[in-house]
Chain A
Amino acid sequence: MAALTSTAPARSGSSAGTGAGKAAARRRGPIEWVRAHVLATTAVLVFVFLLAPNAVMLVMSFNAPIGKYNYIWHQFSTDAWRHPCQVGDICQHMGLSLEIGVVAMIGSTVLGTMAAFAMSRHRFRARTGVNLLLFLPMAAPEIIMGATLLTLFYSTIGSGSLGFWTITVGHVMFCLSYVVVTVKSRLAGMDPMLEKAAQDLYATPRQTFMKVTLPLVAPGIAAAALLAFALSIDDYIVTAYTKGNEVTFPVYVYGAVQRSVPTQIDVIGSMMLLVSMAGIAGMLVVGRLRTRRR
């Protein structure tokens, strides 16, 4: 099945809609053949749509723009790559984002993993209600979370205390649900027989957990942590409401559109992209090596 479909695009070109008779001789009809190509073309175009901004960002990071806005291509230059921190406090803003990202990642991963274990391993009262509460933050528009958090902070600690910790608190809040979902799905996909086997072999519950369960869930926890980190450093809307006078990288970029968009913004964006692409590629390679070894 897979072999048959993967060769279909290769047979293109030779016959368009007119080669219907020939195509009908094949097991699949002409409509199916045309549809396969329409589908492939659409998929390619959608991929172009999805990836174009990243390509533009990479290209524009080598631009020497005229004026303050790096929107139009002018001249090749590696200046921005050689001096990524030269503009304003751009690297301090990135540093703040990374700090918040790490703290929010740790917080939400610890809380979320615990909750995920409780949700998938235990039956208890109010399960449905808890499920709903864990799901809601994912379904709420970000602006609602940001605006309501701001009213909470206004009415309790006052607007003067907004800063690093209020941002982090908000980030942990909206990352939590994603962590729970990610770890829960890993737990659900686990073969319960493995734990049963460990217990049959006289492992104590603690040993079973440390030697069997945890290693099996670890990839899920790692993925959840990465997701939380990515969500946190990329967040603008919730941060905008809880930031006080702090300026994270997204807040800086958002404000830059009104003042000036230096090439360095594209450089830092490209660095983020390259690092995460290398990470994904590394994980895929490691995963492939592992399955091959088995």
Chain B
Amino acid sequence: MSAQAANLGAPPAPPPAAGPEAPRRRRNRLPYLLLAPALLWLIVFFVVPIFTSVSASVQEGSLDNGYTLTWRWANFSDGWAQYHMQFGRSFLYAFLCTIFCLLLGYPLAYFIAFKGGRWKTLLMALVIVPSFTSFLIRTIAWKTILSDNGIVVHVLNDLHITDLTSAIGFTVGDHVLASPAAVVCGMVYNFLPFTVLPLYTSLEKIDPRLHEAGTDLYCSPWSTWRRVTLPLSMPGLVGGTLLTFIPAVGDYVNAQLLGNPNTVVIGQSIEHEFLQDSTGYPIASALSVLLMAVTLIIVLLYVRKAGTEDLL
């Protein structure tokens, strides 16, 4: 009886030792039966498509005549030659987005975790509640907020911040809309909850008494944070940056809605090649395979550097 119960416990449960023969054999097959539908679904609609995509990326042809596999690797070089700027922009914007999300998200998660008191749940709900309406409508709302007659642009103009950002090419003249700044702003807005949630989860686990211990040991608040809090919140930080960076690389909604023709990112190019251009199917596949590969390499390098393998 107790062996059976232990088998129901948390992951590091001991292997089923004693017990009646029949239920044990059934239990051994049960996990596979439970898993089979979900795994099959993911294999057919997630793994297989990646392979068809790789195959499509070396095909040739047109929508009317069909496509044939000709191992045309030139699709990759053509795609790169035509769209390397868009690639660069995607990664630049995603990088900036991740940095800003951390700068805004860490203080927020820290505040909620340590100063939230009994309002913690409500404050976290406030972080999530915006996401319960269409993100497209909320992104379009930034067109109102950042419009030329709006308060935000007036204040930025009066403080001459737009002069500064225009000088480095992030805004255009006195306007904020239809500029890289607007695109990054929209991305930061859309992905901030993805940074805050994992950060909050790992900050919330930290015992506040560790801060007192730091103070007792003559640590300044800053070095308490740097030597105690930050290392303990590393899993959340790595998770949060990944959950922000990865979708941000592929995002093109913000660039489409808040950008201009000079902020076109790779997602828009892929969509254009796939859906508007009848001969673009192999190029579009090559572009998405390339995007996938580069993102994967960056993520693997980052995870190795950050040294958190127990993310999965």
Contacts and interface: CB of A to CB of B under 8 A. Distances in A.
Nearest to A257: B257
Interface string A269-282: 11011001100100
Contact of B35 (A35, A115, A192): A115
B203 to A, nearest CB: 12
A81 interface: no
Contacts of B173: none
Contact of A149 (B4, B49, B208, B312): B49
A110 B222 CA distance: 48
6 contacts: A6-B117, A71-B140, A118-B32, A142-B250, A144-B291, A151-B56
Contacts of A253: 134, 136-137, 140
B1 interface: yes
Contacts of B288: 143-144, 147-148
Contacts of A56: 141, 144-145
Contacts of A151: 49, 52-53, 56, 281, 285
B52 A143 contact: no
B133 interface: yes
Interface in B89-127: 104-105, 107-108, 110-112, 114-115, 117-118, 121-122, 125-127
B39 interface: yes
A221 interface: no
A163 interface: no
A139 B299 contact: yes
B231 interface: no
Contacts of A25: none
| Interface SS, B side | helix
Interface in B236-264: 242, 246-247, 249-253, 256-257
A31 interface: yes
Nearest to A139: B246
A133 B141 contact: no
B111 A49 contact: no
A139 B274 CA distance: 23
Interface string B195-225: 0000000000000110000000000111000
B15 A53 contact: no
3 A-B pairs closest in CB distance: A141-B250, A276-B132, A148-B49
Contacts of B252: 143, 237
B41 A172 contact: yes
Contacts of A148: 46, 49-50, 52-53, 288
A57 interface: yes
A141 B295 contact: yes
A265 B108 CA distance: 30
A199 B6 CA distance: 11
Nearest to B125: A280
A121 interface: yes
Contacts, number: 286
A36 to B, nearest CB: 7
Interface string B34-53: 11011101110111111011
Residue with the highest number of chain A CB atoms closer than 10 Å, among B140, B246, B281, B291: B140
B129 interface: yes
Contacts of A196: 2, 5, 8
Contact of B42 (A134, A155, A159, A266): A134
Interface string A144-166: 11011111101100010000000
B184 to A, nearest CB: 13
A10 interface: no
Contacts of B137: 57, 253, 265-266, 269
A73 B150 CA distance: 10
B160 interface: no
Contacts of A149: 45, 49
B144 A72 contact: yes
Given A115-B38, A151-B52, A71 B144 contact: yes
